Structure 1
Amino acid sequence: MMDTDTASSKALKRGEAAAELLGDGHPRIALVASDTHRAQTARGALLDQHNWCKLEDARVAVVLGGDGFMLQTLHSMLDAGRIIPAYGINLGTVGFLMNPFEETMSVLDRLSRTKAKRIAPLRIKAITQDGAMHELRAINEVSLLRETRQTAKIEVTVGPRVRIKELVGDGVLVATPAGSTAYNLSANGPILPLDSQLLALTPISPFRPRRWRGAILPDRMRIKLRVLDPKKRPVSAVADQKEVRDIAELTIDVAHETELELLFDPGQSLEDRIVSEQFVVD
């Protein structure tokens, strides 16, 4: 059973400010930072603002770094079986999941004005060629990628039916709405609104079927990707930052029971960013 703080969960479900879950007195907040120079410098500047606690004791996590470190932190919560709201401060590059850094910022003041957004990760069961089973989670996407110069050949099943008997190309990926603006977008996949309850199934450099450009699927549907001729055409699976090689088969669905909670400043919502990405013209 996922150990989620009841008061925090109720506040977040109502979309209320983080003040509702910080409580009175001395709220239990963790300060975690990536090992980059910028993040560690910011951490040093924030140490005196609060009596920070360990992540395992906290009700809220303040995360200093970039999107990659935020994903790493969220995965550590999933692995520990204890999910708390996370407030990201961007000290990386893009910072799609983060809030802007301000030199004179008061973290507690900013936390008191935030709004929460819940996102559900993908649950993946991966079977390798030797029959081993691996259970993975992905917040952005899971991708199947060829390991050698040989193109991958993949059978695609959605729901109870085989939809594509043989997809030939560099691979295929499944993206959540939160991850639809990442690798999925660079592979010409669609941008999905955060509350759409949809998944993007996107081919990577497809050769056959030539006209297939992917699919948008309800997130209640299970997806199975079976590697054809895996010995000659080995394929690896990458779930966010974790890779498993020599895949035989992936089964993918959405883990609604383990939703993650991100906090954003007013005017910095993840929904707005996803909408804005659709109007970017370079």
Structure 2
Amino acid sequence: MRMHFVASETETAQSALTELTERYGQHRWREADVVVALGGDGLMLSVMHQNKGLPVYGMNRGTVGFMMNDYAVGDLPERIAAAEETVTNPLAMTATTADGREYVALAINEVSLLRAGPQAAKLRISVNGRVRLDELICDGALLCTPAGSTAYNYSANGPILPMGSDVLALTAIAAFRPRRWRGAILPRAAVVRFDVLEPEKRPVMADADSRGVDSVRAVEIRSEASIKHRLLFDPGHGLEERLTREQFV
């Protein structure tokens, strides 16, 4: 098995990188059968954004490691061969700024809109070209994939989505009007548009997996079915099991 190892910059991850490459060798990315990521969830997201073909097997050398397997040096090819594969599609964001420029980015977890000033944001929400909410006054809102539903979405009291579900979660962040509006569950094929109301008075930024765009006027989001990210997990510890377990903690 030809493995390409990637590690975060921490001392723990770099030490693991040295140990594993000495034992199993290091193949170039384009020649490898699998990418082995050593770090935390931030590294995993970075690797997934760079890689759109090879399966990725992560081992936790970071903090939370929700998307990672336990770290062990021995029998790594056997573990990878026996691993369960989970496929996820990213979200494609097109953000239009105040000066008319467009920014396109992919998000594996979520696309979020956040107020960028002292006053609450005002957003109009449309789904498939139809206005569904004329005005949402809030700190922000986000649209997330099932893979990202336990991240920022869960912190904002959004629902955890099963991996096999063809749905996205639209979640409000500190909604003021409508009072306590929590959001909606939408089909994966839905195209969601946020229009920023009163953008000069109430500036808003957009963020796709920690890549931000300031002073947005409109953001359109859709699931990018043509891109598939392949994640590998040890048997019985796949992402579906982790999402279920998270709801009973």
User: TM-score by structure 2 length?
Assistant: 0.97
2:167 and 2:108 map into 1 onto residues whose CA distance is 14
How far off its partner does 1:268 sit?
A: 1.0
| Structure 2 gap ranges (5+) | none
Q: Is the 8 A contact 1:157 1:164 kept in 2?
A: yes
1:140 and 1:263 map into 2 onto residues whose CA distance is 17
Q: Which SS does the other structure have where 1:236 is aligned?
A: strand
2:54 and 2:15 map into 1 onto residues whose CA distance is 25
Query: What residue in structure 2 maps to residue 51 of structure 1?
Result: 25
How far off its partner does 1:69 sit?
A: 0.5
Q: 1:268 aligns with which of 225, 230, 237?
A: 237
Q: 1:209 aligns with which of 178, 185, 190?
A: 178
Query: What residue in structure 1 maps to residue 220 of structure 2?
Result: 251
Check if 1:86 corresponds to 2:60: no
Q: Is the 8 A contact 1:115 1:266 kept in 2?
A: yes
Q: 2:93 aligns with which of 96, 113, 124?
A: 124
Give percent identity, aligned residues only.
48
1:96 and 1:142 map into 2 onto residues whose CA distance is 19
Q: 2:169 aligns with which of 200, 225, 240?
A: 200
Query: What residue in structure 1 maps to residue 79 of structure 2?
Result: 110
For 2:201, the aligned partner's letter is K
Query: What residue in structure 2 maps to residue 7 of structure 1?
Result: none
How far off its partner does 1:48 sit?
A: 2.0
Query: What residue in structure 1 maps to residue 117 of structure 2?
Result: 148
Check if 1:33 corresponds to 2:7: yes
2:150 and 2:160 map into 1 onto residues whose CA distance is 6
How far off its partner does 1:66 sit?
A: 0.2
Alpha-carbon displacement from aligned partner over 1:236-272 (angstroms, at most 9, x marks no partner): 1111121111111111110111010000111110000
How far off its partner does 1:59 sit?
A: 2.5
Q: Which SS does the other structure have where 2:236 is aligned?
A: coil
Query: What residue in structure 2 maps to residue 21 of structure 1?
Result: none
Q: Is the 8 A contact 1:224 1:252 kept in 2?
A: yes
2:84 and 2:157 map into 1 onto residues whose CA distance is 31
Q: Is the 8 A contact 1:49 1:106 kept in 2?
A: no
How far off its partner does 1:28 sit?
A: 2.7
Query: What residue in structure 2 maps to residue 70 of structure 1?
Result: 44
Q: Which SS does the other structure have where 1:257 is aligned?
A: coil
Pairs within 5 Å for 1:150-229 = 150-229=119-198
Check if 1:97 corresponds to 2:28: no
Q: Is the 8 A contact 1:121 1:256 kept in 2?
A: yes
For 2:115, the aligned partner's letter is R
How far off its partner does 1:57 sit?
A: 2.8
What's the Cα RMSD here? 1.0
| Structure 1 gap ranges (5+) | 1-26
Alpha-carbon displacement from aligned partner over 1:1-39 (angstroms, at most 9, x marks no partner): xxxxxxxxxxxxxxxxxxxxxxxxxx3320110111110
2:180 and 2:17 map into 1 onto residues whose CA distance is 50
Q: Is the 8 A contact 1:140 1:180 kept in 2?
A: yes
User: TM-score by structure 1 length?
Assistant: 0.86
2:149 and 2:246 map into 1 onto residues whose CA distance is 10
Q: 2:208 aligns with which of 239, 242, 245?
A: 239
Alpha-carbon displacement from aligned partner over 1:203-231 (angstroms, at most 9, x marks no partner): 00000010421101111111000111111
2:82 and 2:203 map into 1 onto residues whose CA distance is 49
Q: Which SS does the other structure have where 1:271 is aligned?
A: helix
